[in-house]
Structure 1
């Protein structure tokens, strides 16, 4: 006999079949029940705060050739850039003055010694310039700079100056080995291996980071069972934070011909994935992806209503944002950094939340594990 949905939603653990059932919901009333339970659980465990991560896209130069990505190495149509150190520091100082509490530094993947040293020096300067009365340890920092060695992760961690606000986002994109291979099957030195991604995530934990990962939702060939396996992988990794969003095609990538799900279907599946991840992972941080806003103008509000507690407003200078298009029609390219706190505050108020200003917003799961 099928368990009533209201009873299923109150569980703390779920079988794969139960998780698949929740991910597959499409009836409006059932989707509403899932949303309300995820929102209530987020409030119960994590409170009403939504935390800011000011996103700085410091460079779109990349040595990798991931087939889904608009800044892949073989996309020769994109204008490449690297922000100057002073521009990045100005963005960080703006975030510190504006109450962000944390920033996220994102770039294409590079491993050359010059880049590694430049990032380390940049982290030291960001820390030195963002210590103030409201942020006595400086800004929290999330790095999203791809696969590196343990020694590099440790080197950057030591340079950050704020071990309790140190995070790294390294998405797996899919835990299905066949799907993963199809996303990264360009032959040669840029080819990705799923086992290497898992090893890198282990290295990040050893190096002292709060570990973030995530997947794309609605990939060509992806099944509901794949998404269940993705959440089980989050559990196995014991991830502290999850960054995931809908798969949206990019004309600069190599997968346009494979298409994407219809927007309404993709949006509902993405919201279900957020909500079910909240029910199963419970005390992790979950970010409301900008890609949700690309599907719908109020997409991030819906993300918060389904269990997200982190948002990542883009504070990169506007003149380079159009060159960091991981997918087409990326939202947020037109909003100036100076107005983002007002914009984000409106978003969280509509979702009946409040901004956690001048707070690191570290993961409760990380706090519980480490006792900090």
Structure 2
């Protein structure tokens, strides 16, 4: 197996990402994926339970300065109803995602986590004990005590993307925070025992291939056990409305390198990558899992809220949780993978 020694530095990663022919890197990433995490594609159900956010991230449609966005906050009962339907459909992970909404205190969210963890996933497997769903939280930067309370309540994973490892670019995109604080939170999460996830966007203004190299090395430094990497998609209701979308090909290359650097990590086929890939006239392969990804996220947010969770513009069909799950399973099997 060819392992690329240049992956030890940001400059080396940049040089590899700029390769004219990336075929061998894709093949290596897919081989490593097969040997470390196998052919299983993990399906995660996402509930976007609040689009209220106190932050001002200039690329995000949820930022507090966007006055055109209708705001919502799901009730405890609505969240648990959506989670129960997803678990009944066979999802083994519920992802609770929101803007940074202080209404959801540590105690309020802990109660919801505990209730979801008590649910049982139907299974044809003969097991001695029932299968309870894993819970992933993605609610932004919080204090260490909040993270600890949610871990004690049963949360398994936490996703907090760093978005860019360049402090200058980070400051320009986040007038309400610092890269240092974001990385501090990620390291706290890792220390508390979460399956810690971060990630970044490809195509941000001012970004270079060296920046992407730094992004990938930061994932390893934290260390991350999952990473969401996808192209930037501009939102017309943000200050970056005129910024061109990121390159899906470069995003795929970054995922492949992440697989080589983090062989056992969970790497999603991100929604943003799927959205832009569908618009491409040329694709690297008919198989969307050919570059190292092994996770698919599926929205199960109720229809009356789903459109309002607009980080970037996208079209979503009517939510039919069980039918959507079956269709995903069919597609994944058609690519020779095993949905779970």
- TM-score, length-scaled by structure 1: 0.83
| Greater helix share, structure number | 1
Instruction: Please point out which of 30, 40, 44 is paired with 1:49.
Output: 40
- Over the residues paired in the alignment, what is the CA RMSD in angstroms? 2.2
Instruction: Please point out which of 300, 313, 337 is paired with 1:315.
Output: 300
Instruction: Please point out which of 11, 14, 17 is paired with 2:7.
Output: 14
Question: SS in structure 2 opposite 1:286?
Answer: coil
Are 1:260 and 2:245 matched, yes or no? yes
Most deviating of 241-250 and 117-126:
117-126
**Post-superposition shift, 1:333?**
4.3
Gaps of 5+ in 2: none
Q: Structure 2 CA distance, aligned partners of 1:353 and 1:95?
A: 21
**Post-superposition shift, 1:301?**
7.3
Trace 1:145-156 onto structure 2 (pairs within 5 A): 145-156=139-150
Q: Structure 2 CA distance, aligned partners of 1:122 and 1:85?
A: 7
Instruction: Please point out which of 213, 216, 234 is paired with 1:231.
Output: 216
Are 1:338 and 2:322 matched, yes or no? yes
Structure 1 residue aligned with 2:275: 294
Trace 1:61-140 onto structure 2 (pairs within 5 A): 61-112=52-103, 115-130=105-120, 136=130, 138-140=132-134
Residue 10 to residue 347, structure 1, CA distance change in 2 (3 Å): farther
Gaps of 5+ in 1: 1-6, 186-190, 357-372
Question: SS in structure 2 opposite 1:143?
Answer: strand
Most deviating of 15-24 and 57-66:
15-24
Q: Structure 1 CA distance, aligned partners of 2:287 and 2:67?
A: 35
How many residue pairs get matched?
331
Residue 289 to residue 319, structure 1, CA distance change in 2 (3 Å): same
Q: Structure 2 CA distance, aligned partners of 1:258 and 1:117?
A: 39
**Post-superposition shift, 1:317?**
1.1
**Post-superposition shift, 1:305?**
1.4
Q: Structure 1 CA distance, aligned partners of 2:95 and 2:64?
A: 22
Structure 1 residue aligned with 2:182: 197
Residue 32 to residue 195, structure 1, CA distance change in 2 (3 Å): same
